[in-house]
Structure 1
Amino acid sequence: MTPTDPFDLARAAAEYIAAQTGVASHDIALVLGSGWGESANLIGETTHTLEASDIPGFSAPAVEGHVGTVRSVLTTSGKRALVVGSRTHYYEGKGVRAVVHGVRTAAAAGAKIMVLTNGCGGLQEKWTPGTPVLISDHLNLTATSPLEGATFVDLTDLYSSRIRTIARDVDPSLDEGVYAQFTGPHYETPAEVRYARTIGADLVGMSTALEAIAARHAGMEVFGISLVTNLAAGISATPLSHAEVIESGTAAGPRISRLLADIISRL
């Protein structure tokens, strides 16, 4: 019988991963969004690849550009990384529990660091498509939370300043900004982009914030990094399209994947 409690389900998933890989515990976990997939091949040796749909609580990805696997990687520094390629987005209608199941599974598998990546729209004209940007904070505009009941978690320093410093040591040119998560799946209107900018956003997308909250609740150190795949509506002179997101991610993939692998090697 499939557990109904989300934490029991995460433990069941972690136990399945441990049984199938023979790896009792992982140190780091990564959720790889659009454009970031190649980094899994650069951070170390993939020793096991599991179909996500075989793992309790996971399903095949619904978005082009995401892979449907969970990988156990032995990093170049001798640590174990759990690479979650099957991300569930809030707009899929599966509920917030499903959105953060990968994060909770990673925590149950022992991971102490959660690396969250995404492809997103940029609100700063200087960030041309293909620019990686560190996430310093977020705006959760989904009108929901992965936390249930009277569960109060301090998010003051949600995105690790320690790891952002490491990232800038690897690449001093990295900028940082505030990421706003909308629900999607439609892209934001120009008015919504102006609103987001007014309240402090630099980046807009459809993932990450809910996962980050769940990771902090689980006691993990959170590192977030976005790939600007397009300028947001009203800033871009051309209409938005998912094809543009995929194209930008593909073009930037080798460079940003090398960047992420170099950061991971120092954690």
Structure 2
Amino acid sequence: MRGPALAFALALAVGPGPAAAQEPSPLAPLLRAYPDQLQAIEGDTLVWRDGTRMTIGQPKPSDEEALEAPGLADIFRRPYRTGPQEGAPTTDPGRFRPAAFFAKIYGDCMRGEVERRLVPVRWLPRHGGGTLRATKENGVAARLQAVSDELDKLPDRFLTYLKPSAGTYNCRKIAGTDLQSAHGYGIAIDISTKHSDYWRWSRSGYRNRIPQEIVDVFERHGFIWGGKWKHFDTMHFEYRPEMLP
């Protein structure tokens, strides 16, 4: 065992006594990010307010295995850094999404549980960006509306990156996998494709053309950016407050 797996195991292995009481769980940021849903972390168990208990378990040995079948212990295996992206990313912070956890919060779109929770978001209303849909759970739609209102005040030169939006809710799998897309939970948005870059389309490696001013607005409101992934997707933003300060 090495790397994230070893660090995680050591964090969970703290014995009883004063030291254990003071040692925070590696998953503690989840309690801050989802206070209406989560109650506590008891050893190797995540306790929900409705009484549900989920075993945390151990991180997968490698990022590749974690991307294929992420568990709770994999959520924070790679830290997400705010601010400008320096060079090509070498990891995928935030792409390790355990399906059981996110479906518990936002619902299973295949069973129609997400769509009935969607509410309208006015995208760039000063510039006629139209109406999008996002989940009302965990205040996501309100956060996305705040993002839109702030982006709407940027100089007009930024519009080409933002309008038209390539969409929000879409009940689909991540391309090339059997994993639910963040769009299927109603927590993600793709901005305009005009200046976007995606790892599956690229023939020359990492490239980004999205201005930092846009990324900063999203991050301020709890959204992470796909431009900071090794498997980059620069049009993509998703609401992941647990990954941010």
Report TM bin, short chain.
0.3 to 0.5
Larger strand proportion of the pair: 1
Normalization by structure 2: what TM-score? 0.34
User: In terms of Rg, which structure is larger?
Assistant: 2
Normalization by structure 1: what TM-score? 0.32
